[in-house]
Structure 1
Amino acid sequence: MNNLKKLAALSVVSVVMLSACKPAEKAEPHSAYLFAYFTGNSKADESIHFAVSDDGFNYSALNSNQPVILSEDISRTGGVRDPHILRGHDGKSYYMVVTDMVCHNGWDSNRGMVLLKSDDLVNWKHSAVHFPERYAGQDSLKRVWAPQTIYDPEAGKYLVYFSLKYGDGPDVIHYAYANDDFTDLEGDPKPFFIPKDGKPCIDGDIVEKDGKYYMFYKTEGHGDGIKIAVTESLTSGKWEEQPDYKQQTEDAVEGAGTFKLIGDDRYILMYDVYKAHRYEFAQTTDLENFEPVKENVTMDFRPRHGTVMTITDSELQRLKEKWGNAE
């Protein structure tokens, strides 16, 4: 009997050792790009659209460039703008935030944003955050613009940042942490980044590189271009401002969206040359010095402010099965 017990114990140990030695399942590599954007200033165009690319430069619209999510189903105003899409730090969840706004109601007409979360990039849960109802003391709030999300490892939470304008004051980028299920914001919004000159800034877009956070932002109404501020901690660090503009044009630009190319050391900075009705890409390897991309950039649609996220082939096929190829 003792020998039988020893054999059984050895069998258990062997199974455990084999399990421990089994190689971990490799994550599927990223092989394509998903572009989330809106298309214009009419109410019908203020909606979430998706496009995909194999190389990061040539994009085809999904769903025949029609909305993939109906604005009236998710927003208070009936329109949404400035979609920002993010892969969760677990690699398997996805987050979007959008401005809840119809611009024909006036540039000072919106008071909130919409938070969205998905497990498959196809089905999205949503929650509108209307600041006058969510927070006290919002009588002088004029607008809530261009929210974006980043995971803050120090807090272990998702940080949502956006610009707020109160009364005659400047647009100031604020932040608040999202709750665990990404349906609401926790605590009161706090100032996040204020340029040294104290002038308005909007359209914050943060990229993490080598332990530092690079915030691209638009100098609203004074230069109308894109600058960068850098910090080592999202909420407790000091922002160091780079003095020069990063866009590769003399025309006014907004809506910075930055992403890293797959298998390449280059980062792409894209922006909306909104008065000239075109979209441009610039490139950098150090997030400080920029130049125009050498590749041709093509899109079978005209985007406005949007963002790009890298995706796997499985995710690409899932998106195509739901919304079809542009072809």
Structure 2
Amino acid sequence: MMKKLIYLFIILLSACFNAQAQSKKEVYLFAYFKGNGEDGLHLAYSNDAYKWTALKNDQSFLTPTVSKDKLMRDPCIIRGADGLFHMVWTVSWKDKGIGYASSKDLINWSTQQFLPVMAKEDGARNTWAPEITYDSRTKTYMIYWATTITGKFNETASTEESGYNHRMYYVTTKDFKTYSETKLLYDPGFNVIDATIVKNGKQFIMFLKDETREPAQKNIKIAYADQLIGPYSKAGNPITGNYWAEGPTTLKIGNNWMVYFDKYRDHKYGAIQSAGLKNWTDVSDKISLPKGLRHGTILTIKKKELETLLKQ
């Protein structure tokens, strides 16, 4: 009996050591924008996902060049199956496309491209907060965003906030060279923006903002699907509190989920934590982020990659 206990203790100790060793090799990176997004991409890092430090003295890593407005809002970066970092962003408040660029090191970027994903929709008013999620099963990337199309979904139309009434749309690609036709991804029966999708086991989880103005929701909710392209379930109850929240981005640390979001009317960031995606604890007072940080996304990078970024 004693030998078995010792054996189990060694296994647990080894697992703990390996987890710590792994964590020491990787750090968290927050890609975000400041102001109106005119100066481009900002990056911050963290070893514990709570305390974040701006890189390059919080100067821009990439200046936006595409669309007439030349903005770089809501940057979303993922590490692709090809080893490259792929980024999409909002280029304008009123354009019919998004920005795209790739990089090997997050410092030197490819020529920025304008992807006219809503060009075929005459009534499309905007293309906001694009994100990318990779489906390893189909080896396909899905890029998705929020758009208001004049005359559609009148059942949830409002005259408030310039009459915007969004739904989520998407395209797919395997190589960021050719793209599918644009399709509707999610109509939850309300005005929805700022979706971010992560895989959890065999399920895909969509964190989204209920943008309803009358009566005001302005909170984060969750929907689920068995496939990346859906169909997604009915959105659940709000997981954020009595404040307006937007731009969710998430991490899973061990068994705990962390969701970060912009408390934009309070001009600060918030975070909530959960072990089972049901009951959430507010940990906003435990996080520290660079001043002025706005809507972005978090990814994991290697220590060596951070060392290169720290030299900038």
Tell me the distance in 1 between the aligned counterparts of 2:43 and 2:53. Answer: 9
Looking at structure 2, the residues matched to 164 and 216 of structure 1 have their Cα atoms a distance apart, in angstroms, of: 17
Give the alignment partner of residue 93 of structure 1, picking from 84, 89, 93.
84
The alpha carbon displacement at 1:298 in A equals 1.2
Contact 1:214 1:287 in 2 (8 A): no
The 5 Å alignment of 1:284-323 reads 284-293=274-283, 296-321=286-311, 323=312
**Number of residue equivalences:** 276
Q: CA deviation at 1:34?
A: 0.7
The Cα of 1:68 is off from its aligned counterpart by: 0.8
Q: Name which of 122, 131, 146 aligns with 2:107.
A: 122
What is the TM-score with the length of structure 2 in the denominator?
Answer: 0.82
- Compute the displacement of 1:86 (Å): 0.8
- Between structures 1 and 2, the one with greater strand share: 1
Which residue of 93, 98, 107 corresponds with 1:113? 98
**1:277–1:200 distance in 2 versus 1, CA, 3 Å:** same
Report the residue type matching 1:40 in the other structure: G
Q: Find 2:69's aligned residue among 74, 77, 97.
A: 77
Residue in 1 that maps onto 2:131? 148
Aligned mates of 1:142, 1:317 — CA distance in 2: 42
Which amino acid is the alignment partner of residue 274 of structure 1?
A: Y
Please point out which of 189, 197, 209 is paired with 1:206: 197
Q: Give ranges in structure 2 of 5+ residues lacking alignment.
A: 1-21, 153-164
From 148, 153, 170, the counterpart of 1:165 = 148
Q: Please identify the structure whose Cα radius of gyration is greater.
A: 1
Asked whether the equivalents of residues 99 and 114 of structure 1 are also in contact (C-alpha less than 8 Å), the reply is yes
CA distance in 2, matches of 1:259, 1:75: 31
Matched residue SS, 1:187: coil
Matched ranges for 1:1-327 at <5 A: 30-41=25-36, 44=38, 47-71=40-64, 73-90=65-82, 92-101=83-92, 107=93, 109-125=94-110, 126-131=112-117, 135-136=119-120, 138-169=121-152, 170-180=165-175, 182-183=176-177, 186-195=179-188, 198-222=189-213, 223-235=217-229, 237-247=230-240, 249-261=241-253, 264-293=254-283, 296-321=286-311, 323=312
Amino acid across the alignment from 1:96 = M
Alignment RMSD (CA, Å) = 2.2
Q: Matches of 1:32 and 1:209 in 2, distance apart? A: 20
CA distance in structure 1 between the partners assigned to 2:219 and 2:100 by the alignment: 27
Contact persistence 1:76–1:128 (CA under 8 A) = no
**Whole-angstrom CA distance in 2 between matches of 1:191 and 1:30:** 39
**TM-score, normalized by length of structure 1?**
0.78
Using the aligned pairs only, state the percent identity.
30
Q: Which runs of 4+ in 1 moved over 6 A?
A: none
